[in-house]
Structure 1
Amino acid sequence: MLVSALLTSLGINSGLCLLFFTLYSILRKQPINYEVYIPRLLAEGSSRRRSRFNLERLIPSPGWVRRAWKLTEDDLLESSGLDAVVFMRIITFSLKIFLFAGIIGIFVILPVNCKGTELHEIDFADFSNNSLDVFTISNVNSGSKWLWIHFSAVYLVTGFVCYLLYYEYSYISSKRIAYFYSSKPQPHQFTILVRSIPVPAGSTVCDSVESFFKEYHPSTYLSHMVIRRTSKLRSLINDATKLYKRLSQLQSDPNQEKHKRVKLFGEKVDLVDHYEKQLEDIEENLRMEQSEVSLDGDEVRAAFVSFKSRYGAAIACHIQQSVNPTNWIAEQAPEPHDVYWPFFSSSFMRRWISKLVVIVACILLTILFIVPVVIVQGLTNLSQLEIWFPFLKSILTITFVSQVITGYLPSLILLLFLKIVPPIMVFLSSIQGYISHSDIDKSACNKVLWFTVWNIFFATVFSGSILYQINIILDPKSIPSRLAVAVPAQASFFIAYVVTSGWTSTSSELFRIIPFICSMIRRPFSKTTDDDFEVPSIKYYSDIPRILLFGLLGITYFFLAPLILPFLLIYLCLAYIIYRNQFINVYEPKYETAGKFWPIVHNSTIFSLVLMHAIAVGIFTLKKLSLASTLIFPLPVLTLLFNEYCRKRFLPNFIAYSAEVLIKKDRADENDATMGEFFDELTTAYQDPALKPVRYTSNGDNLNSPLISSPERR
């Protein structure tokens, strides 16, 4: 890729970022857009729509940047939980790494690369027509002593990254324990999920659970809630909710007289009466179905079992309950609102088959995604593109067109293809047998991360160096030397990818393009109120993998092509401000894992370091600096030993709390007068929402009263 192509991509994406920032600064002030840009503040009652015209609303202002910058970690912890704090620390962690690596890369390594003559000398008179390869390690002469600077940089950055990893793991681990100490009693702290419950003939799951835990945990057992199959009930409730929203819209329409007589199914009917009768029928069916599910023993061999202390729940969770380890399988319960109830409707065999299907589906998706990667790499190579599409040869000779095609279009196409991956991974994880939304998101996060690492990094590198250079296969002796040039040469594509997927995508996160468009389409057909919308939650499963992929690119390429580092730093600065703003105004936490996403970050960073070491060994070998290659070998070994130490030292605190922590917390609650009331609520905390009491009303006058009421807490 030429410098001019990169500058074209840079100009397009910078313009889009500026446009998104400007539009956001104006549109966020318009009351009609509050549910898009400040839904959390609306839901909390911190902001209300104001209809009075104000000229200031039409003038862009950067006040939101100042408010986001002033947000402290304690404020973020209080409003959005520890997961949000950990997410922001992922960004600051990456910022520290690339600020340190950027100083070395830009001011030390980049001048060394430019001084080389392995490829050709830089033509400063015609700078824009230089290839970006001359800024990489490929331009350093083989056997040059200047390569020892790259060698030293690898050691320095590895040491700095490991130090930061240790510090962050230690800090987040301590914050996790402190967060636990400061939290009020929560149902999931006292509850476990038990599966594969053996049921003797003539007995029920409920009887088996009660007799077992009263016998083996008599001093700590409190209560239990057996899981039942309620998929049909959930379907009825969903139908009723949709019908109620439709009825509410009709009744709130000032021109509702036009709905009085509408031709439906060949005859004229009153739509309001028609929908009310449908609701009455659904109500009757729902009540009958609830009675049948409750009485006929349609039970799943699983139950939530609650205890009188956190320590008692931990003992029951981590000790094998039966001589047969396949019976009475226990695990920590998630928060009640975090439970993924459809999971319990699946049999053991169905879950087992689903896991196999998910593995096969992930493999097939990874293989199929190679197709857009190959197309994208073809666009970066004009000569290859002319061979594939000879009729475009005259168009490709236009400078601007060639710059857009090679510099901007490939990364844009890849970004659009990647948009469909996170929802697919969430769906695959949801049928894999996880019991909570947070577990589904963590599983999807891992899937999306390794999918993008393989298809964006590895597939791109190998496509660029092998798939499009068939003559390498015909001349095997040239493979090592060509790979030495091709691997760092892919940095030009990755720089453009960081600009498109990083800068523009993060700016569009601020602008919230899709919710804004949906709001505009929906607005003429429905009257929106401050209570008539859902506050979104941040999608950790897609946002964390993107940050970690850029972390891999930065760590891997910082000594090969340090020109990528300034673009990464700009992306991280944008992400730092934008996501803090979103946590203030937009996102509301859907669940709380207390920082359990951090081990994914740690493992990904360790992988990136080891991959960097492997590439360094190959580069120094091909550059005929064999001593440097030999001296690199201890580095991955030391890195993996460091990782093993962190696993032993910190990871257990992310899996379960220690007896010391649990007992201290239990003793602190002994003097709490509200614990009796809490234990009363705990007995019904894990009741399936589909089995909770519901109420329908055909009274059209009370539109503010929900058709389906939530049960009152005891």
Structure 2
Amino acid sequence: MANRYEAQDSAFVVTFVINSVITIIFFFLFCFLRRKYKSFYQYRYEKNHKGIVAPPSDGFFSWVGDTLRYDLNRIKDSAGMDGYMYLRNVKTNFLIMLVIMVLGAVMLYPTNAVGKYNDHREKDEDGNYPDPVVGLSRISMGNIERGSSLLWVHLVFVLFVTFTVLFFTYRDYRDYSKNRIVYRQQSRLSNYSILLRDIPIQMFTKDELSHYFRNHLANQSDLLDISLQYPAPHIYKLVNQRETFIKKYEAAIEKYRKTQEKPQVKLGLCGCFGEKVDAIDHYQTQIDDLTKKIEDERAAAESDYYEKNAGKKVAGTGFVVFNQRQIQKEMVQTIMHEKYQSQFSRYYAPDPNDVFWPNIHIGLKQYYIRLLLVSVFTFFLIFFWMIPVAFLSGFSNLGTLAKVPAFSWLVDIIEKSDVLTGFLQGFLPNLILIIFMALLIPIMYAISRATGYFANSKIEASVFSKYFLFLVFNVFLVSAIAGTVFQSIKEIADNPGSIISTIANALGGLSFQMINYVLLAASGLMGGLARVVGLIIRNIKLRWLAKTRRQIDEITHQGPFSYGVAYATNLLILQLCLAYCTLSPFIVIFGVWYFGVTYLVCKYNIIWVNTPNYQSGGMFYPMSFRRTLVGLLIYHILMIGTFNVYKFYYGILVVIPLVVTIIFWYVCERIFCNISKNGILDPYQKHMQQLQAQEIEMEQSISSSSQAAEPIQPHMQETFNDGSHSIFEYNQNMYKPPYYPGKLMEPNVSFGSEFPLGSASV
């Protein structure tokens, strides 16, 4: 067989060319299409969303400069802290990779190039010399002979990498904590509210809870409102039926407007049989009947609640709203019940748009049972998912295929073409791997919802956690070692203890497989910017399926940015680059490329395309911080093992940066974690006194200007709403389930932003 290093170089060149062509095609497609389909590629500006005051320039390439120059602080107004912290984290990863790339070019490239591995090769058990290091691998650690004093350079490099990661992550966490303090001091409803879970049955009335809380308040008027959530999940089925009839009603109205003929509908099976009646009148009757039935069910759920739950110790869930932010913080952090946490547990309330109403009634006991079942399911899913991943990864290795008699003829054909060899070993397995990982995303969302989280942001955080675990296990561990293990399965079977040395010896070569993965991931990002398939589907739906304004709005609406998936993918790339930056510093160049492309693409989409549904206040960043440090610790452990394989026993000194990282992690959590979560009490900040004075002035102006002003209704998707309503404009319907997800359109109603999907009003 050919030299394996030459095969790696061939696979890299083929993958690099393919991905470069794909990236260029998507880039030019986007530059052309964005000017033709502005409602698709700058949706938020066309819909006049909050904070979007100008579109990107109309020049062919000018959008690049407009995106990069866009101030990150302005994104807080349009996408909230979630968008701001995500983009700052991507920028930080880019800077980490850039610094490590420069350090690698100065320290490792010249050191590795003068290595003498080829002159000191040792024969294997069969008496054969291993392949000499050639090509790009000559600037990798694999070109260093065992026990060489040159390995001191690599040890020092590990220290520099550690310092770089710790420096930049400290800056990010510090900035996050400062922004969180400001966020927790803003007059948004979620900063005045708490969520009560497992309220004792004897306290599950507004009067009892009001009496209870007022006994703990110095000023009883500080209790603004209590909203109890009576379990009625069956109502959502009726709501969905009502929504279906609303859409049919609007379609019938639209047809009548165009033809001036009243449409007919058959009452029989599936609308294909039976008596014909007037469609508009029929749908109106169905809507009225379902509306009444929903109201009756809601009333029954409340009136019959105590009869159905007699004998139970705990009841349901509720929201409590106060007039002072500091009262909310005190109530959450103070133990107020002898059976805490099993009863009367309290949390910072999510903003109204963030509440996941189908799970709002789930208590802690049921939540823990669900969590256990989901954890077991996730474990088995990871185990069974790794089987096809390992199979595909292993059989993408020509060395593995050559040892299988049934495929030996195929290897002979493949090896005659460098392009075919590169395509099989470099591009195809990574493409299949990315597709397999993408198939997991809807499964992750489904099982996260089933766990019982009461907020969409917590569901997204669960997806982040689970998806990252899958990516690290299947991409970093299984796919990386499968080819090597399968190729050496006989040696491992004869000597199981050799598996560690077998994997360690192959790590440098496996870095090229990871480089190919990073390249393909970057190409996929550019495809996510062009979104050609999404544009085609949208245009087909608008041409053939959209009949009403509601349908047009639903088809053209650009959904929220998937922070959970994006964070997990970025952390995987960071993990790969850290793990291999010393073994094969060449990978860091493509880490810089990936995070540069990610910053450009995601920043454009967050500014002008994706519409946020809620605001979590950047809650995903601490999760990213912790997983970044886990990746750094894995890098340390990997380097300790690698130095051992290279017979450089001073490599045990890597324990020092490992311990420093653990201490750094502990200190950062002590300094930033609680203050980021809870904020600070207002009276202890001088500038907060000014904010309070402004709020009092605002309250007086509102009360004097208009006594009959309508309360603000949140439009969850058509305009950005992060729950930041002034407490003086509080609407008592904000913490009530949105049982009416759509407005009924009458024939004489003008079309516009009349469809606040999720609005509680009808």
TM-score by length of 1: 0.89
* 8 A contact 2:229–2:317 mirrored in 1: yes
Distance 1:14 1:206, change over 3 A: same
CA distance in 2 between partners of 1:447 and 1:549 (Å): 13
Q: Report deviation, 1:636.
A: 0.6
Q: Report deviation, 1:108.
A: 3.0
2:361 pairs with one of 332, 336, 345: 345
CA distance in 1 between partners of 2:560 and 2:328 (Å): 30
Q: Report deviation, 1:683.
A: 6.2
- More displaced 10-residue stretch of structure 1: 138-147 or 284-293: 284-293
Distance 1:711 1:321, change over 3 A: same
Does residue 674 of structure 2 align to residue 674 of structure 1? no
Distance 1:68 1:311, change over 3 A: same
SS at match of 2:347: strand
- More displaced 10-residue stretch of structure 1: 149-158 or 416-425: 416-425
How big is each residue's C-alpha offset from its partner over 1:28-79, in whole Å with a ceiling of 9 and x where there is no partner?
Answer: 122xx3443222112217999xxxxxxx99xx81121121022012222222
* 8 A contact 1:86–1:595 mirrored in 2: yes
SS at match of 2:557: coil
CA distance in 2 between partners of 1:295 and 1:694 (Å): 26
Which residue number in structure 1 is paired with residue 414 of structure 2? 396
Does residue 544 of structure 2 align to residue 537 of structure 1? no
- More displaced 10-residue stretch of structure 1: 548-557 or 249-258: 249-258
| Mapping for residues 412-451 of structure 1, pairs under 5 Å | 412-451=431-470
Distance 1:140 1:216, change over 3 A: same
How big is each residue's C-alpha offset from its partner over 1:649-687, in whole Å with a ceiling of 9 and x where there is no partner?
Answer: 111122211225787647732452334765565361543
How big is each residue's C-alpha offset from its partner over 1:188-212, in whole Å with a ceiling of 9 and x where there is no partner?
Answer: 1111111221123xx7533331221
Which residue number in structure 2 is paired with residue 4 of structure 1? 10
CA distance in 2 between partners of 1:636 and 1:306 (Å): 45
CA distance in 2 between partners of 1:662 and 1:246 (Å): 57
CA distance in 2 between partners of 1:364 and 1:550 (Å): 25
CA distance in 2 between partners of 1:402 and 1:694 (Å): 56
- More displaced 10-residue stretch of structure 1: 540-549 or 511-520: 511-520
Which residue number in structure 2 is paired with residue 126 of structure 1? none
SS at match of 2:227: strand
* 8 A contact 1:230–1:690 mirrored in 2: no
CA distance in 2 between partners of 1:707 and 1:294 (Å): 28
* 8 A contact 1:510–1:578 mirrored in 2: yes
Which residue number in structure 1 is paired with residue 274 of structure 2? 267
Which residue number in structure 2 is paired with residue 115 of structure 1? 114
2:619 pairs with one of 596, 605, 619: 596
Which residue number in structure 1 is paired with residue 293 of structure 2? 285
1:18 pairs with one of 24, 41, 56: 24
2:506 pairs with one of 473, 476, 486: 486
CA distance in 1 between partners of 2:318 and 2:621 (Å): 30
Which residue number in structure 1 is paired with residue 168 of structure 2? 164
1:330 pairs with one of 340, 346, 358: 346
- More displaced 10-residue stretch of structure 1: 220-229 or 556-565: 220-229
Does residue 240 of structure 2 align to residue 222 of structure 1? no
Q: Report deviation, 1:442.
A: 1.5
* 8 A contact 1:310–1:663 mirrored in 2: no
CA distance in 2 between partners of 1:259 and 1:517 (Å): 33
SS at match of 1:226: strand
Which residue number in structure 2 is paired with residue 152 of structure 1? 156
CA distance in 1 between partners of 2:428 and 2:743 (Å): 54
How big is each residue's C-alpha offset from its partner over 1:474-515, in whole Å with a ceiling of 9 and x where there is no partner?
Answer: 1356545433321222111100000012x1111012012453
Q: Report deviation, 1:7.
A: 1.0
Which residue number in structure 2 is paired with residue 504 of structure 1? 523
CA distance in 2 between partners of 1:534 and 1:427 (Å): 22
Q: Report deviation, 1:304.
A: 0.6
Distance 1:663 1:424, change over 3 A: farther
SS at match of 1:306: strand
| Mapping for residues 293-372 of structure 1, pairs under 5 Å | 293-297=301-305, 300-325=315-340, 326-372=342-388
Q: Report deviation, 1:358.
A: 1.0
* 8 A contact 1:261–1:268 mirrored in 2: no
Distance 1:348 1:565, change over 3 A: closer
SS at match of 1:267: coil
Distance 1:28 1:688, change over 3 A: same
1:29 pairs with one of 25, 35, 38: 35
SS at match of 1:145: coil
Amino acid at match of 1:237: V
Amino acid at match of 2:749: N
CA distance in 1 between partners of 2:174 and 2:624 (Å): 14
- More displaced 10-residue stretch of structure 1: 271-280 or 250-259: 250-259
1:644 pairs with one of 645, 655, 666: 666
Distance 1:303 1:561, change over 3 A: same
Q: Report deviation, 1:294.
A: 4.1
CA distance in 2 between partners of 1:143 and 1:711 (Å): 71
Distance 1:430 1:651, change over 3 A: same
Distance 1:478 1:285, change over 3 A: closer
Amino acid at match of 1:97: I
Does residue 681 of structure 2 align to residue 659 of structure 1? yes
* 8 A contact 2:370–2:451 mirrored in 1: yes
* 8 A contact 2:236–2:739 mirrored in 1: no
CA distance in 2 between partners of 1:353 and 1:618 (Å): 40
* 8 A contact 2:68–2:600 mirrored in 1: yes
CA distance in 2 between partners of 1:352 and 1:514 (Å): 40
Distance 1:680 1:45, change over 3 A: closer
Amino acid at match of 2:751: N
SS at match of 1:346: coil
CA distance in 2 between partners of 1:553 and 1:96 (Å): 16
CA distance in 2 between partners of 1:693 and 1:65 (Å): 38
* Overall identity of the aligned pairs, in %: 24
Which residue number in structure 2 is paired with residue 563 of structure 1? 586
Amino acid at match of 1:389: F
Q: Report deviation, 1:152.
A: 1.0
* 8 A contact 1:193–1:333 mirrored in 2: yes
2:570 pairs with one of 547, 550, 558: 547
**Aligned residues, how many?**
689
1:460 pairs with one of 459, 476, 479: 479
Does residue 446 of structure 2 align to residue 409 of structure 1? no
